[in-house]
Amino acid sequence: MPPVQRRALIVEDSPTMRHLILFALRRIPLLAVVEAGDGLDALRKLASPDRFDIILTDINMPVMDGLKLVHRVRSDPELGRIPIVIITTESAEEDRRRALALGASAYITKPIQAPQVIATVKELLDAASP
Amino acid sequence: MPDSDDLLVRQKEFVDAFFRKGAELASELIESNEKLRFRVVELEAELAAARQKLTGFGAAEAAARRYETRFAEIEHENHNLASLYVAAYQLHATLDVSAVLSTIVEILLNFVGARTFAIYVVDGERLVPIAAQNLAADAVPRPALGDPGLGQVAASGNAQYQPAPGVVAAVPMRLGDSTVGAIAVFELLSHKPALDEVDYELFNLLAAHAATALEAARLAAVARAGGGATNPGFAALASLTPS
């Protein structure tokens, strides 16, 4: 079977963080990355005809935060099955539980370690592969 | 009734047959013993070969483990270098004072994992806070140059770690030989127990590049203002209040 190009969406208001996550994801072969500055921007990009295979999102963002984005994605029959990774400075167990209860697939705390991000994304992409 | 000669003949025949059978049995036993001995030798050779293979597998396994460890180290190093590159790139990606300041805040918050911190500029003999995270404006320390801890760091131009109780790191922002500001980290995020190796490198980078980026942005603001204002760049800095 020929290798399949996959697409990731990074949702993060900090350009510095986006840049660092992008650097990490570049180490995954055949993964195209699109960036969004907040939840609403992400929904606009998710509405495009090109489907996404994974979403990585911050929680605290202007306009629409990451938890609302998770809720909106999970409520959408077209997008509902996309794996979502939360990347945040919030480390309290309560925050983690809330995000996972809303349907997040994984939860990573900042400061991030690229190997952890890469391993998590690979694992979720592999699990979602047919 | 058989006579005694007949009995003797039959007895001899029996004894002959008995010894013949015994000899046959002994011969069979010797033969089977030989076969067993040969098999033992074969098995010993197989065992030795298997042991050798196992040693090979063990060596291969140990080598794989070494490569795995080395790969993890390289990935970690790679991540550290990427963090430094991204931090430096973003610091110099803008000529807007508040954007540079936001980048410094993001580096401290997201890369170092600092929870409570303040960024200062040197104003005469004092350190004036221009941004703060998770600190009310009136709670931000305002030391004079030379005061123990941050004041001393700004006066000497040398970073100090845990220079005073409640201060995790105090880092000068240097422009050439002079210190134009300082960064004080008071608390790390709750899930970050201590500073990592890369954090010291990030502080070194901030010490060297943050002031340059801020100064470049300040000069750009002066240039944009066409020199009309006496010092609009510093005015831009001064207008940033601790958040």
The pLDDT tens digits of the residues spanning A28-64 come to: 999 999 999 999 999 999 998 889 999 999 998 999 9
Are the beta carbons of A35 and A19 closer than 8 angstroms? no
Whole-angstrom Cα distance, residue A46 to residue A40?
10
Instruction: Determine how many CB atoms are found less than 10 A away from the CB of residue B210.
Output: 28
Task: Give A-chain residues touching B103 at CB under 8 angstroms.
Answer: 16
Asked if omega into A111 is within 30° of 0 (cis), the reply is: yes
Alpha helices in chain B (DSSP H): 4-91, 97-106, 150-156, 197-224, 232-238
Helix (H) or strand (E) holding A26: none
Query: Both tokens of residue A85?
Result: 């990774």
Name the pairing type of β-strands A54-57 and A6-11. Answer: parallel
pLDDT per residue over B96-152, tens digit each?
A: 988 999 999 999 999 999 999 999 998 889 999 999 999 988 888 888 888 888 898
pTM of the model: 0.77
- The DSSP secondary-structure symbol of B97 reads H
* Closest CA–CA distance from residue B139 to any residue of chain A (Å): 23
Q: Which two tokens stand for residue B231?
A: 């010092």
pLDDT at position B243 over 50: no
Instruction: Give the CB-side neighbour count of residue B40, counting CA atoms within 13 A.
Output: 6
Q: Give the closest-approach CA distance of B241 to chain A in angstroms.
A: 20
- Please identify which residue in the block is written with the tokens 């104003």: B123
Q: What is the mean pLDDT of residues B196-220?
A: 90
Residue A111 DSSP label: S
Residue in A19, A24, A89 closest to B90 by CB: A19
**B137 DSSP 8-state letter:** G
pLDDT in tens, B24-49: 999 999 999 999 999 999 999 999 99
% of chain B at pLDDT higher than 70: 92
* Inter-chain CB proximity A114 and B82 less than 8 Å: yes
- DSSP class of residue A2 equals P
Nearest CB among B85, B89, B110 relative to A17 is that of: B110
pLDDT at A44: 94
The mean pLDDT value of chain A amounts to 91
What is the pLDDT at residue B241? 47
Contact B132, B119 (CB under 8 A): yes
Contact list in B for residue A115 (CB cut-off 8 A) is: 72, 75-76, 79
ipTM: 0.84
B235 pLDDT band (50/70/90 cuts)?
low
Contact A56, A85 (CB under 8 A): yes
Instruction: Name the average pLDDT for chain B.
Output: 87
Contacts of B225 (CB under 8 A, 6+ apart): B232
Residue B230 has pLDDT above 50, yes or no: no
CA separation for the pair B13, B202 (Å, rounded): 106
Q: Nearest Cα to B111, choosing from B198, B8, B30, B238?
A: B198
Residue B17 has pLDDT above 70, yes or no: yes
What is the rounded distance in angstroms from the CA atom of residue B139 to the CA atom of residue B142? 9
Q: Mutating which of B91, B102, B110 best tests the A interface, going by the most A Cβ atoms within 10 A?
A: B110
CA dist B82 and B69 (Å) reads 20
